[in-house]
Homo-oligomer: A and B are copies of this chain.
């Protein structure tokens, strides 16, 4: 364990396998060296909490491998999964920049490796290289657009349509295409989390899944989904659909 941790800790960011997909790709030379010196990688098991909503910010994280869930929870225990963090994604930059506590919680959904960047290092890099800030800005803009899209869909689409949309999104990331054009997806989420992402209860989602199977659009077996025709799914989102 100590050995493994040590090995990855010594990895320089300049040779990171997700560097080109991450916000840090705008850095080079000395900046990359500074980043490396302020970074520590840590391995998480599935289901560990990275930070809690309400915690003070203690730097930002970069997903190296695995999968992270970002969620909001309230006092009654209501939990909504807001987005998923994939390798290359940055976590916690918002509370860092606003100088506020974390407004969301983050937890691992699979065994995950995260690189933690010390706050002083981030501040130093932002000052040295303005393009890093612009890169974060692009990320925030993109997330904002996605959030607006989600709000719009929650008003205009049915639960079934929203779930189909979510399935299509997950199919892109987690789906394995098959020679016959069908697709197999291993869902990284429980029914409860899937339900919260489309804004409904897990019981309702269960029934939606039942109807999807009855209609022959998709087959579910635990977290495994088989979609015979991806097009048939996509058609459910077309405007002017009956039945």
Contact = CB atoms under 8 A, between A and B. Distances in A.
Contacts of A150: 151
Nearest to A199: B155
Interface stretch (A11-19, A139-147, A207-215): A139-147
A75 B239 contact: yes
Contacts of A151: 80, 82, 147, 150-151, 154, 199
Interface in A117-170: 126-127, 130, 133-134, 136-138, 140-145, 147-152, 154-156
Given A147-B144, A151-B154, A156-B80, A138 B98 contact: yes
A221 interface: no
Contact of A72 (B130, B142, B148): B148
A30 interface: no
User: Number of copies of this chain in the oligomer?
Assistant: 2
A169 to B, nearest CB: 15
A104 interface: yes
Interface in A165-200: 196, 199
A43 interface: no
> Which among A75, A76, A140, A149 has the greatest number of chain B C-beta atoms within 10 A?
A140
Interface string A58-102: 000000000000001011101010100000000001100110000
A94 B144 CA distance: 9
Contacts of A143: 144
Interface of A: 72, 74-76, 78, 80, 82, 93-94, 97-98, 103-104, 126-127, 130, 133-134, 136-138, 140-145, 147-152, 154-156, 196, 199, 239-240
21 contacts: A74-B152, A74-B156, A74-B239, A76-B239, A76-B240, A80-B155, A82-B151, A82-B152, A94-B145, A97-B134, A97-B138, A98-B145, A103-B145, A133-B134, A140-B144, A147-B147, A147-B151, A151-B151, A151-B199, A154-B199, A155-B196
